[in-house]
Structure 1
Amino acid sequence: MRRNVKEFILINIGMLMVAIGLYFFLMPANLATGGANGLALVLNHVIPFLSVGVLMIIINIVLFVIAFLIIGTSFGIKTIYASLGTSLLVLLFEKVIPINEPLVEDIILQLTFGIFISAIGMGIVFNQNASTGGTDIIAKILNKFWGIEIGRAVLFSDFAITLGAAFAFGPELGMYSLLGVILNGLVIDTTIEGINLSKQVNIVSDQNDDIKEYIVTNLKRGATLYYAEGAYTGDKKNVIVAVLDRKDFIKLKNYICCVDKNAFITVSNVYEVLGDGFKTIEH
């Protein structure tokens, strides 16, 4: 239950960031940086009597069916919620805070802020096994069946939309849109890696029993013991190996500092951990 609540909160934060990045920065500058919004922006140029928000909903409905059939029910339900929520937020912004021109004249600023805000939001949503709809669904399919990183998959699926932007708004905006798609993919992958970042800790200490007990009892985490022999001293000791999130790693480091300041510790970043206590392999 607690996990579901956290997932729900994170999806809402993510889709709010996506809507803000799109509406306040990318859409006023006609920057079609892929996704349902980018395609809707291009189509709105052809059929202006339909708003961007309405077109986003129509596009997403078509892709929802694909999400359910190919990726699964859980992803499909959460994607429906996130994508409709994003579209409705854009519609709400259109009604409450109408914008007829870019916030600033510098298109690079519009592009940079829009991409970073929306891409971080997309990364948060993707990390909850959902998407904000549109071509993100195609990207998830590429990720699931071909193992392509989400950000790169988004880049591949959105490339065609940037070509449409070039025809609709001119080559200059098309090139800016392509730059935005590339930045978007990089920021999404960086965001997901940052959220999932864990620490693998290797510990050699005279207080291994106490440290092992602290990891298992206080941090509620598992650990693996290896028997090792020092090359210089010839001493035989246990090596404790544990994978922890950043918060638990800080707690463990502080504890080791208290019980054995001479402990030998190596730490490395782990960008994905699957299994008991972490994400399931299917996720």
Structure 2
Amino acid sequence: MQKTSRLLVILVASIILGFAFNLFLLPHEVLTGGVTGLAMVFGLLTPINTGYWIFILNIPILVLGWMKLGKEFIGNSVFSVIVTSISMIYIPIIQVTDDALLSSVFGGVIAGAAIGIIIRFYSSTGGFDVVSLVLIKKWDVPLGGLIFALNSIVVVISGFFFAWDLALYTMLSIYITGLVIDRVHTRHIKLSLMVVSSKGEELKKELLNNLVRGITVIEGQGAYSGESKKVLYTVITRYELAIIRPILKEIDPNAFVSVSESMEVMGNFRRD
């Protein structure tokens, strides 16, 4: 039932995302960020609908994610991409307002809210979210810089192919979308992860293989059962939580897991 509810929320949010693109951004040739923004460029420059381009451009990315990341997360992402693509194919491109500035703002807000909900329910809109997860699985790369670089490419393309005032509207839309996503589901906060498990050694080995974080291991004992347990403690990013969930589920689904926000992290955050 929980999985069905999650997919239902992702379905609705993905359809809303299609409305944001087709009713606010695309009518004014205003783009959004990342791979979806590139798909919009192709959709505006060719007779092929943007919905098809979103699906086509995400195929290699989602295949890479399927091989490197959790199957449930990528399965949810595939579902979101398909629903968004179909929505954009069937929702007519209509101008809600003649004002490009208003469309950029409201389109950015609606898209940001929809994407934030999709991420919150253990999914993504494909594109650079999946690429980021693959990269951060092995390296503590500066994701902010990579996302900025990709979005900058979209803005420059918008300026060259359409108009520079539209490129500025695109920049505004991307900025607002990012702000709203962070309000709905903050991507860059740090999380404290504590796992109490009777399979501590196996978990430790697997986590060290998949993360660039150090792990503190504490010997523990169940107060009621008297059973010896390992307590694993580390600090991660929210991106890495998508990597850790399937590992915990596979090795010890009965482990006690506590995840909480960390207000501040000092010292060496990554394993060198």
TM bin (shorter chain): 0.5 to 0.7
| Matched residue, 1:85 | 83
| Matched residue, 2:18 | 19
Residues 24/178 of structure 1: CA separation in 2 closer, same or farther (3 Å cut): same
Give 1:118-157 correspondences, 5 Å limit. Answer: 118-141=111-134, 146=140, 154-157=147-150
| Matched residue, 1:8 | 7
Residues 166/140 of structure 1: CA separation in 2 closer, same or farther (3 Å cut): farther
Q: Please tell me whether residue 164 in structure 1 is matched to residue 153 in structure 2.
A: no
The gaps in structure 2 that reach 5 residues or longer are 190-237, 246-254, 262-272
| Matched residue, 1:203 | none
CA deviations on 1:137-189 (whole Å, 9 max, x unpaired) are: 2344466653878x887555433222211111121111211121122111101
Q: Please tell me whether residue 60 in structure 1 is matched to residue 58 in structure 2.
A: yes
Choose from 72, 75, 79 the match for 2:73.
Answer: 75
SS in 1 for 2:27: coil
| Matched residue, 2:227 | none
| Matched residue, 2:183 | 190
Which deviates more from structure 2 when the two are superposed, residues 3-12 or residues 120-129?
Answer: 3-12
Amino acid at match of 1:146: D
Q: How many residues align?
A: 198
Q: Please tell me whether residue 28 in structure 1 is matched to residue 22 in structure 2.
A: no
Identity, % of aligned pairs? Answer: 23
Tell me, in whole angstroms, the C-alpha distance in 2 between the residues paired with 1:187 and 1:13: 18
Amino acid at match of 1:177: T
Tell me, in whole angstroms, the C-alpha distance in 2 between the residues paired with 1:142 and 1:170: 33
Residues 152/183 of structure 1: CA separation in 2 closer, same or farther (3 Å cut): farther
Give 1:96-111 correspondences, 5 Å limit. Answer: 97-99=92-94, 102-111=95-104
Residues 129/57 of structure 1: CA separation in 2 closer, same or farther (3 Å cut): same
Residues 115/43 of structure 1: CA separation in 2 closer, same or farther (3 Å cut): same
* Counterpart contact for 2:62–2:74, Cα < 8 Å: yes
Residues 190/10 of structure 1: CA separation in 2 closer, same or farther (3 Å cut): same
Structure number with bigger Rg: 1
| Matched residue, 2:210 | none
Residues 57/130 of structure 1: CA separation in 2 closer, same or farther (3 Å cut): same
Amino acid at match of 1:19: G
Amino acid at match of 1:70: K
